[in-house]
Structure formats: C-alpha cells, structure tokens
Amino acid sequence: MPGFELFGEKEKAEVQQVLDTGVLMRYGFDGMRNGQWKALDLEKKLEERMQVEHAQLLSSGTAALTVGLASAGIGAGDEVILPTFTFVASFEAVLALGAIPVLADVDDTLTLDPDAVENAITTRTKAVMPVHMCGSMADLESLKQLCSKHSLLLIEDACQAIGGSYDGKPLGSYGDMGCFSFDYVKTITCGEGGALITNNTEFYQNADHYSDHGHDHIGNDRGAEGHPFLGYNYRISELNAAVGLAQISRLDDFLEIQKRHYTIIREALSSIPEITFRSVPEKGVENYSFLSFYLPSAQKAKAAQLALGSAGIDGCFYWFDNNWHYHTKWDHLKKLTSLGPLSKEVVEGLPDYSASNFSKSDHWVGRNISCLIKLGWSAEEIQKRAADMAKVLKEIL
C-alpha cells in the first residue's frame, strides 16, 4: 500500500487508450469511443473479484458511502451507527443526507464493538456501518445477527481494506452493500475514485441513477433519458477508471507483497513480550496494508511513536492524536460547525458527544500504533526496517 508505488506500463497503456479517443466522460459520445468503456470494464472486474452481482463506480470513497446510503433510502433524521475510530468521510456521508451519525465504541479489533452497537440502537436507527480500518474487519457475523434482529442494513465501509475477507467472502460483500475508496493512497488507486458493490438490484439501480443526476440510462440518447428521481453528480471519469482497471489486475500481487512485508515486521516485534497485536476475527483475513499493535499504556504508545519517527522510521501512526481519524479531534462534528444552516433533524438529533463516554475506545486506540506496509520496499529495506523497529521499541519498553 499504496498502489501508486508500483505504477507502470499497464496504467500508462490504459490511460493512453482513453486519451487516444478523446472521450474522458464515462457516459455518452458512443461514436467517438472506439469501443473504450473503462468504467464499465472496471465495474465488471470488481463484480468478478468481489463475487457480487453489481458494482457502481463513483468519484470517491466518500461518494460511494453517500450514494450507498441514499440508494438504500436513508435520509433526514435516520440514524446510522459508526465507530469512534474511522475517517471523517464516514460521518460526512451521513450528514450530507441529513441523517444522524451515532458513534459507538470500538474493541480490540479497532472496529465496531457489537455490544456497543446494540446499546446504541434506537427506533430511528436504519443502518450499522462497520469501518474496516487499516486493513482489518469487525466481528461481522455478530453485527449481521444484530442487523437481522432489528431489521437494519449492514453497510461495510471497506475503503481501507480491499482484498481482505471474512468467512470466505471478500470484504464489502458480506453485508447489504460495501464501499471502497480508490484515492491516491489506497492499496489500488484510480488517483481519485470509489465504488459501491451489492447483490441488491434495487440499491444498484438507485445508485446508477442517483450518481448521474437521476438519469435512468435507458436507450442510447443521453439527452432523452428519463429522470425517475432527483440525483447528483458523483460520476467517475474514464481517465480515473483506466488507472483503476490496470490496478485491479495487480491487486492479488499487491496483497502478496503486503503480506510478506507485514509478516517480516510482525515476526520481529513478536519477540517483545510487552507488545500485543490487534485482534482479527477468527473468520477474517486482513489485507495486510497496516500492522497494528498495542503497547502497555497510552504513554508508552505515544513515546514509541515519537521514538520511531526520531529514528527515521516513517509511516507509524498514533491515531489517538490524529485530526482525521479519532473522535477526540472532531470538534467540527460535535459543534456542527457548518458553512450554512443544517437541517432541524441534524441539529436536534445529533447526540451530545461532549457528554459521551468512549473510554473503551480510548483504552484500545490510546495504546495502538499502526504501521503502514509499503509495496516498494526492497528485501534489504524490509529486513532493516523490522530490525530497527524492534530495537527502538525494546529501548522504549
């Protein structure tokens, strides 16, 4: 991770084919295309790789989450349960639809705690959105049982975990729908892009229309297409799709490299008794994009992250103090700081997070360090990195 580390001739060839046609938009201009439909081709590849009936490409992972929620009918005043540890896009997508993000604790998986989810369910809850942070997943079986019990949707935010699996199914395909990000720093990238996958034909058709101004895409005259409902513009371009088409053909190779590098570092750190590793559900397989581990205390974790950086070991993140990923830094959410007035449903429905107790999340995230696993390391570099990390951590502990 990320896929841009290994850009090469495949990406260049796919992009050049688009440039040769001059058609950068995914819809229309049929006569000029010379048979090139990169977005459609990438959607077919995603359907095959993710073992689902439908895939819809979007302009970003945030767009995929927004379109996915909208396509399932989630809107003003509906509650969506999210983890305290995620990327801000998760709650941004919920708020964009006038829905309410309800935060719940994470456990030692660094993802949604099923017990916390059950405690957060109300009569207004419509969906549970586990976020597969840093390449690994929640206890999806327990969450699916909860959703079935309460008639809720299970929407997987798999933006950081493409290539992982649970119970033999690709992440993103286990719930009612799954969302991916293909931005510049993901395991496979389009530069900017995202996708929604599902086996629900209604959700897919809604996503197809909603993401293109409500166009129903019936017939071969774009100007004469119908608009069965309101929509917006969340389209991907052919250029972005072309890059992704090359990258998805390399996904399994990338995963193999990540697993090899991850294993070397994990084995080096396993010799340190004070270090424990993130829990991965029994039926789960990570995509190995990050190695996440726990130190004995938050103080030790913070000191270790600083020491690793001082030693020139980059890419080791202490999320507890991160502005983008952890609830303690989300004042703009908690205070609903917005450029314009927000809906009554959001203003009145958002929980008072200043009074919330997320000590369980703090216990796990406060002691965690997550180290990015790069694709471009040489054999010598990864061995040296593993040894250097172990040396620095032993000195701290």
Residues designated as active site: 186
Token pair belonging to 11: 């990406």
CA 65 to chain centre: 9
* Bridge pairing between strands 177-181 and 194-198: antiparallel
* Bridge pairing between strands 284-285 and 316-317: unpaired
- 3-class state of residue 199 by DSSP: coil
Residues 6 or more apart whose CB falls under 8 angstroms from that of 395 comprise 307
Q: Are 209 and 231 in contact (CB under 8 A)?
A: yes
Residue count of the chain, please give it: 397
Residues 6 or more apart whose CB falls under 8 angstroms from that of 385 comprise 265, 313, 377
Residues 6 or more apart whose CB falls under 8 angstroms from that of 272 comprise 390, 393, 394, 397
Token pair belonging to 179: 């969302």
- What region, left, alpha or beta, does residue 341 occupy, with left being phi > 0 and alpha being psi -120 to 50 degrees? beta
**Spatial distance between the Cα atoms of 187 and 339, rounded to a whole number of angstroms:** 33
Token pair 């950086």 in the structure block, residue = 309
**Spatial distance between the Cα atoms of 45 and 33, rounded to a whole number of angstroms:** 20
- What region, left, alpha or beta, does residue 29 occupy, with left being phi > 0 and alpha being psi -120 to 50 degrees? left
Distances (CA, A) of 355 to 95, 276, 334, 360, 397: 20, 31, 10, 15, 34
Please report the beta strands in 240-367, taking only residues with DSSP state E, as ranges in sequence order: 276-277, 284-285, 290-294, 316-317
Q: Is the peptide bond before 228 cis (omega within 30 degrees of 0)?
A: no
Token pair belonging to 285: 């397989």
Q: Which letter does DSSP use for residue 162 in this model?
A: T
Token pair 């099923």 in the structure block, residue = 114
Q: Which strands make up the sheet holding 165-166, listed edge to edge?
A: 169-170, 165-166, 284-285
